[in-house]
Structure 1
Amino acid sequence: MERQGRIVAINGPVVRARGLAGFAMREMVEVGPLRLLGEVIRQEGDEAILQVFEDTQGLLPGEPVVGLGEPLSVTLGPGLVGAILDGIGRPLGALMKKSGPFLGRGGGLEQLDEDRNWEIFPQVTKGDIVTAGTLLATVKETPLVEHRLLLPPDMEGEVLEVLPQGFHDGRASLLRLRDGFGRERVLPLMQRWPVRRARPVRQRLLPEEPLLTGQRVIDGYFPIARGGVAAIPGGFGTGKTVTQHQLAKWSDAQLVVYIGCGERGNEMTQVLEEFPSLEDPKTGRPLMERTILIANTSNMPVAAREASIYTGLTIAEYFRDMGYDVALMADSTSRWAEALREISGRLEEIPAEEGFPAYLPSRLAEFYERAGRVTTMGGERGSVTLIGAVSPPGGDFTEPVTRHTKRFIRCFWALERDLASARHYPAISWMNSYSEYAAEVRPWFESHIDPRWGSVQDEVRRLLSEDERVQQVIQLVGEDVLPDEQRLVALVASIIKIGFLQQGAFGPDAFCPPAKTFAIMELIVHFYRRARDLVAKDVPLRLIREAKEVEALYRLREISVADLASFEEIRLKLESRLERIGTERLAVGRDRR
């Protein structure tokens, strides 16, 4: 029997309806004759408040509201990888075919193409006992991703029938089984999962392995672990979106989910145009063969923007359960928080700081806590790494979204306007950023890259920290009055900032493997230690600074990844030059005596 109510009031995306006493909280509904998709967000006896994920223009009081009997859910199955979806999981390509370049409304469009055929390779047979997370079948979805069809967490039992190997469409039934109560259950090829409910796992693991990003300032200075959480806050023009693009392109995640949440349409257009033409650095295949894009720009309905975060998270968890390492980029969580604020205002809730709802911190916590490196229900190891951009108005890091986000993340890559204005990219501040994962992933770098990784990294940190104090003195009295020991620190810090921390988003230096990252760090630290010894023997810093071999340190980042052997050549030339400077200075000292 169809459950139906009637609209009594409309306030933008918020609709009040009557006759919904039998509806459940968070239940999906279809609103009006166009069947606009929405959900129940508050119940007041016979009346309920709905938020509608589409434009409500033209809705009228008295029009019907029909319950769908399930919470807001996303369809999971083959066809997700390489897809471009809207905030509630509908494919934009199919929407364009249906309504043209301007998105139409309503109509109940399927989230995945059920007419498309997939070659299914069963992994179980009749009579097998299967439990939650058991691998049932595989599909070669793209050349880079094997789609693994798993038994859902709420099913177990004896296999009675399994789909034979071959090509089948999305309407096929993958499995029929008998559960422990003797009931027969059928599992469709395409599954549904509520987006606001985290998928269960067997065990959460410690964040001991780094997510390699190919960005020196991150891998070498502020690393993030697989399954970690990070924020990229910065004002307009500081490079948040470009930094997230770099992470999506070059990180060693096996799958990338990129959510354009409330960003400007031109930025999202750049992503949609650029990603299909990008080449995966590890395989040479198109990057879209391991990427899922969710586009919900600032001119799309605000309620769908609020839902887009959860849609992307659920898809990321689905692939994590297959044993993949997934990186999720949310650009930006500030726009998502603004959607919460707008809906909260229309609900006439009492506002908290700067108009945001009082439950903003708990919503941020719910979002970030769904990250993690886990043992899945099927016994595999997978991870979801969350990287959220934050857009504080005017670059003010004390505003509520940035401040509350810092409570729930362990990696903070603060973008600095002064660095961006000086064309220093990525504009990640080495003084205001931090990573609590650095100590946890250090053993991995020391065992896989070089045992000296930790000591060299500590020396780089110390030099930049000491340089901050030296620069304060220089601003007061000038550099000429400083002793050579402090001027050497300023020189080496300048080399670190230009030759190591700077990295272009385009060209051969866009991706830097950890071996090259360490080689640059180690060579700069080696130079500092040798120069420090010479300065301690009264060798003037001027003689060291003027050496052309020292100038080469500023250009270390230009060395090709395929030519890492040239670092040893530069080291030998530098060592020879410093030795010659020391010997000549010692000879001059003897002559004077």
Structure 2
Amino acid sequence: MAENRIYSINGPVVTVRGKTGFSMMEMVYVGEARLVGEVIRLSEDAATIQVYEETGGLAPGEPVYSTGGALAVTLGPGILRNIYDGIQRPLPALEELSGAFIGRGCSAPALDETARWDVTVLAKPGDRLTPGQIYATCPETPAIEHRCMVPPNVSGTVTWVAENGSYTVNDTVVKLTDDRGNERVLTLCQKWPIRIPRPVSRRMPAQRPLITGMRVVDTMFPIAKGGAAAIPGGFGTGKTMTQHQLAKWCDADIIIYVGCGERGNEMTQALTEFSELIDPKTGRPLTDRTVLIANTSNMPVAAREASIYTGITLAEYYRDMGYHAAMMADSTSRWAEALREISGRLEEMPADEGYPAYLPSRLAQFYERAGYAQALCGQEGSVTVIGAVSPQGSDFSEPVTQNTKRFTRCFWALDKALAYARHYPAINWNTSYSEYLGDLSPWYYDNVGPDFMQCRERIAGLLLQETSLMEIVKLIGSDVLPDDQKLIIEIARVIRVGFLQQNFFHDQDTYVSLEKQLKMMRVILHLYEKSQVLVAKQVPMSRVLRTGLFDKLVKMKYDIPNDHLELFDDYTAEIDQKIGELMRP
């Protein structure tokens, strides 16, 4: 019979009176149903627990069981292709146990303990193993090799190894003796507390871009591998669609998609689409390198708070193998709302708009776990975090958006007006920014073209000039503008519609290489320079527009196939020819 018993229940918050013997952040089992909970407050005579499952039916006097450890995830082969809830319970396995709705106290192993993996053991008797060293590998999916690593707190000399063969995640494959003479066994899996960042050998500067194939991202507002970005936007602006596109096409090795407090139908759509998507890199289903964490808005609020920590821990685990992981969190506003609800039940003093005073520090702790690093195994890996924010009424001055801006260096502001005008992705070029431009400039110079960043700056400058001119146009119309300003408005239209706008359903436009993006910018700027000469010679802008060159450049993203970039030379020659004809008296 358990010594600790429930004293009071307030939604997901449970209080235990007396000297409990619990430790802070310890995982416990609450009630006869053994609901998963975590200790979040301790005093001399009481402990407060947040429960990650529905507490309906729980009663005072029921026992609370200690586990002696923190809330942790199980790391090993079998994570990929799986669908978890916020505390790493596999949803397909739970469905078999309790049907479409998860039963209270229902649990299943995070990894399939009956599945067998074709293991190659790399360690040999007498080898000295250090934390993070890879001692065995197995093909987790056709796309990803799983590398079993020595846990960060274990080291020693190998005394026994298993032969290469078929093993389950709990089978012992290596035995070693640590420095104290104790024998330690290594299986294919390990556990790690979700709220503690996994250690690395050293953090490295983020100097390589995460290539997405989206022109407005790669060219205008790039994100570095190991960076952090925010996608704020109101309802219907395309946050989820943009994250789906990033997940499919970005050049990360591993995708962790966390649906944190989203509507159930949106998560159903995500689960359905991800299972149908074909990975453009391998030609196999995208799920071969994807983990989905589904924590919908009708699931317990406390588990929503834990879901992004579960996701980032899984991403760090694959980073430690030497992979580049990208984590999509959709959306951090729902996570912050979970913090607010639990804080209110704890009767803590509220800060801005009712959010707890520690909201900024929690956001900082989360986004700081992104980074490019040399793992303990010696290989380089990264965790890139892209967090969606859902400000009510598209109000970017609310606390979650403002605090997220403090801890991310990339801000892709989605605009409701652009979305309603069917301009996708609806990233507003006036309010978005990326602080990675300076860090990534050398990479673009060496790997794409020496004039890439120069072209990007000129494109951005033309869009800025158009914004200023449109204020005048709204007041007095465009007819009174001089021809040089009319030219800016026309070339900016080509940039907006022909370059920034992208059709994700068009086979030539859904993914665009950096080389094609550069050639598109060169052609647009070439037309602008040639037209400037005509306008300086008093040639009316109306005659320049009648050449049809501006409309043709708007369509070049469709007309020039991705594997025939030499056709851009034909566009340049046509511009020279038609502009040359207008220059003749």
TM bracket (short chain):
over 0.9
Task: Supply the distance in 2 between the matched residues of 1:189 and 1:276 (Cα, whole angstroms).
Answer: 26
Task: Please list, as runs of the form range in 1=range in 2, the aligned pairs for 1:181-200 lying within 5 A after superposition.
Answer: 181-200=180-199
Q: Which residue number corresponds to residue 242 of structure 1?
A: 241
Give the secondary-structure state (helix, strand or coil) at the position aligned to 2:36.
strand
In structure 2, what residue type is equivalent to 1:75?
T
Task: Supply the distance in 2 between the matched residues of 1:124 and 1:527 (Cα, whole angstroms).
Answer: 62
Task: Supply the distance in 2 between the matched residues of 1:441 and 1:23 (Cα, whole angstroms).
Answer: 48
Task: Supply the distance in 2 between the matched residues of 1:485 and 1:307 (Cα, whole angstroms).
Answer: 56
- Assess if the C-alpha contact under 8 Å between 2:156 and 2:178 holds in 1: yes
- Assess if the C-alpha contact under 8 Å between 2:494 and 2:550 holds in 1: no
How far the C-alpha of 1:3 sits from its partner, in A, is: 6.1
Q: Which residue number corresponds to residue 147 of structure 2?
A: 148
Task: Supply the distance in 2 between the matched residues of 1:244 and 1:185 (Cα, whole angstroms).
Answer: 42
Q: Which residue number corresponds to residue 578 of structure 1?
A: 579
> Structure 1, residues 72-115: CA drift from partner, whole Å, max 9, x if none?
10000000011110000011000001111111121442111111
Task: Please list, as runs of the form range in 1=range in 2, the aligned pairs for 1:455-534 lying within 5 A after superposition.
Answer: 455-508=454-507, 509-534=509-534
How far the C-alpha of 1:548 sits from its partner, in A, is: 2.1
CA RMSD in angstroms comes to 1.1
How far the C-alpha of 1:564 sits from its partner, in A, is: 2.0
Q: Is 1:269 the counterpart of 2:291 in the alignment?
A: no
> Structure 1, residues 208-267: CA drift from partner, whole Å, max 9, x if none?
100001111000100000000000001111111111111111101011000000000111
How far the C-alpha of 1:44 sits from its partner, in A, is: 2.0
Task: Please list, as runs of the form range in 1=range in 2, the aligned pairs for 1:32-431 lying within 5 A after superposition.
Answer: 32-431=31-430
Q: Which residue number corresponds to residue 539 of structure 2?
A: 539
> Structure 1, residues 258-283: CA drift from partner, whole Å, max 9, x if none?
00000001110000000011011122
Q: Which residue number corresponds to residue 445 of structure 1?
A: 444
In structure 2, what residue type is equivalent to 1:574?
I
- Assess if the C-alpha contact under 8 Å between 1:160 and 1:178 holds in 2: yes
In structure 1, what residue type is equivalent to 2:583?
G
Task: Supply the distance in 2 between the matched residues of 1:533 and 1:174 (Cα, whole angstroms).
Answer: 73
In structure 1, list runs of 5 or more residues that go unmatched. 588-593
In structure 2, what residue type is equivalent to 1:231?
A
How far the C-alpha of 1:464 sits from its partner, in A, is: 0.6
Give the secondary-structure state (helix, strand or coil) at the position aligned to 1:328.
strand
In structure 2, what residue type is equivalent to 1:54?
E
How far the C-alpha of 1:205 sits from its partner, in A, is: 0.8
- Assess if the C-alpha contact under 8 Å between 1:4 and 1:20 holds in 2: no
Give the secondary-structure state (helix, strand or coil) at the position aligned to 2:96.
helix
- Assess if the C-alpha contact under 8 Å between 2:459 and 2:521 holds in 1: yes
| TM-score normalised over the length of structure 2 | 0.98
- Assess if the C-alpha contact under 8 Å between 1:4 and 1:67 holds in 2: no
Distance 1:160 1:4, change over 3 A: farther
Greater CA drift, 421-430 or 169-178:
169-178
- Assess if the C-alpha contact under 8 Å between 2:218 and 2:514 holds in 1: yes
How far the C-alpha of 1:19 sits from its partner, in A, is: 4.5
Greater CA drift, 542-551 or 61-70:
542-551
Q: Which residue number corresponds to residue 590 of structure 1?
A: none
Distance 1:20 1:32, change over 3 A: farther
Distance 1:4 1:563, change over 3 A: farther
Task: Supply the distance in 2 between the matched residues of 1:10 and 1:124 (Cα, whole angstroms).
Answer: 51
Task: Supply the distance in 1 between the matched residues of 2:308 and 2:3 (Cα, whole angstroms).
Answer: 29
In structure 2, list runs of 5 or more residues that go unmatched. none
Q: Which residue number corresponds to residue 24 of structure 2?
A: 25
Task: Supply the distance in 1 between the matched residues of 2:170 and 2:225 (Cα, whole angstroms).
Answer: 35
Indicate the percent of aligned positions where both proteins have the same amino acid: 53
Give the secondary-structure state (helix, strand or coil) at the position aligned to 1:560.
coil
Give the secondary-structure state (helix, strand or coil) at the position aligned to 1:288.
helix
How far the C-alpha of 1:34 sits from its partner, in A, is: 1.0
Give the secondary-structure state (helix, strand or coil) at the position aligned to 1:173.
coil
Equivalenced residues, count: 583
| TM-score normalised over the length of structure 1 | 0.97
In structure 2, what residue type is equivalent to 1:12?
G
- Assess if the C-alpha contact under 8 Å between 2:33 and 2:105 holds in 1: yes
Task: Please list, as runs of the form range in 1=range in 2, the aligned pairs for 1:549-564 lying within 5 A after superposition.
Answer: 549-558=549-558, 559-564=560-565
Task: Supply the distance in 2 between the matched residues of 1:265 and 1:113 (Cα, whole angstroms).
Answer: 25
Task: Supply the distance in 1 between the matched residues of 2:280 and 2:571 (Cα, whole angstroms).
Answer: 27
